[in-house]
Amino acid sequence: MTDATRGHRALATMAVLFWIAFGANGCKVQVGDNVEPGRLAATGAETWQIEGKTYSIGSTYYLVLPPGEQLQYTTEYLISDPQLLDGLNDERAAQIAMPLVKHAWKQRLFERSTVTSAKGGALRPSLIGVAITYRDGLRSRGFRVRRSIEQIAAER
């Protein structure tokens, strides 16, 4: 076998493995006429007004989570003060995130796009999450909160 043949065979093997890892098992999201693989972003930056308070939203997007491909609609809430994250625990993070979770639920924002799995067809969102995020240039840190849609409906 020549070096060229070995190189082509290795490249073909890598391409097949890449397709299996990222193509065969992946999901895609339909946003208008655009289909995006990967992050499954539904919108870009925006500002939400909820009960007189302004929230800076970096993006909203979908995450496909194991097991069984649970679909989570996520809101990235951008905060300007990194000290808000210092000592943040689950209870306090839930208090911060809950107005955003309830807004996404009441406005049915999680139904904005269609996410299709290569394995099983269309996925319905079963979770709504908030990523409380502080960005410093290219670096970011934060805290994630999520609730099932059933939990949110019960807390109305």
* Count of domains for the chain: 1
**In this structure, what token pair is assigned to residue 36?**
């995006």
In this structure, is residue 6 part of a structural domain?
A: no
User: Is pLDDT of 12 > 80?
Assistant: no
Asked if the structure places residue 76 within a domain, the reply is yes
- Say if 1 falls within a structural domain: no
Range of the domain at 33: 27-154
pLDDT grade for 30, boundaries at 50, 70 and 90: very low
Q: Does residue 13 sit within a domain?
A: no
What is the distance between the alpha carbons of residues 80 and 65, in angstroms, rounded to a whole number?
Answer: 29
pLDDT 10s digits, 63-103: 988 777 889 999 999 999 999 999 999 999 999 999 999 99
Q: Is residue 9 part of a domain?
A: no
pLDDT for res 33:
39
Determine, yes or no, domain membership for 5. Answer: no
Instruction: Tell me the sheet residues that pair with 117.
Output: 27, 121
**Model confidence over 117-135: pLDDT tens digits?**
777 788 899 999 999 999 9
- The span from the CA of 105 to the CA of 88, in Å, is 24
| Higher pLDDT among residues 149 and 7, named by residue | 149
Strands 125-136 and 121-123: unpaired
Rounded Cα–Cα distance for residues 128 and 74 (Å): 6
pLDDT at 23 over 50: no
The C-alpha torsion from 12 through 17 and 23 to 26, rounded to 10°, is -170
Domain for residue 15, yes or no? no
Spatial CB neighbours of 80, under 8 Å, sequence gap ≥ 6: 56, 134
Note whether residue 14 is domain-resident: no
Residue 25 has what pLDDT? 41
Whether the CB-CB separation of 101 and 147 falls below 8 Å is answered with yes
